[in-house]
Amino acid sequence: MTLIQARRETTDDPSNTISPTPETGTLRVLVIGETPDGYVAKQAGANAQRTFVAFETLTEERFLAIAPDVVLSPLVTPRFDCLELANCLERFGYSGRYRALSPKLPRPDLVRAEVRGQFPKLDFDLVYFEEARAVPVA
């Protein structure tokens, strides 16, 4: 089972794997904000349908049209953080998988507890990546 497929039973050592859901074979990935260069394409695989959206342009109408299986974003950016995005997702009625991309953290359990505590309907977790150059999203 990959991290993206996993529910709340994740450990403090998330993997870098994102794979299609077994039910459909296609993973609809909504990427918000800047992501490490090539990360999503490499990890989501050929069967993934990836949509890249800037946080400032995310609307409920656009979100519902995309209907993602999983939402990915950086943990923190100069424009928004995972709590702000989680708030939007909850307002949009989303209760699916939300993964925040982050370098290794000393206390990931604190981040998980904060987000899950404020937004318990979301299936939130962290996905670690090696430090890499970020790719801007238009």
Domain contains 20: no
**Nearest Cα residue to 29 out of 91, 58, 71:** 71
Mean of the pLDDT values across residues 76-87?
Answer: 96
Per-residue confidence (pLDDT) for residue 2, from 0 to 100: 40
Domain contains 81: yes
Domain contains 11: no
Q: What tens digit of pLDDT does each residue of 44-65 get?
A: 666 778 899 999 999 999 999 9
Domain contains 5: no
Domain contains 13: no
Whether the per-residue pLDDT at 81 is higher than 70: the answer is: yes
Domain contains 2: no
Q: What tens digit of pLDDT does each residue of 85-101 get?
A: 999 999 999 999 999 99
Domain count across the chain? 1
Higher-confidence position of 4 and 45: 45
pLDDT band (50, 70, 90) for residue 84: very high
| Contact predicate 34/78, CB 8 Å | no
d(CA 121, CA 71): 14
CATH number for position 44:
3.40.50.2300
- Across all residues in the chain, what is the average pLDDT? 78
- DSSP-derived letter for residue 8 is T
d(CA 123, CA 99): 8
Report pTM.
0.76
The parent domain of residue 92 ranges over: 27-135
Whether the per-residue pLDDT at 68 is higher than 70: the answer is: yes
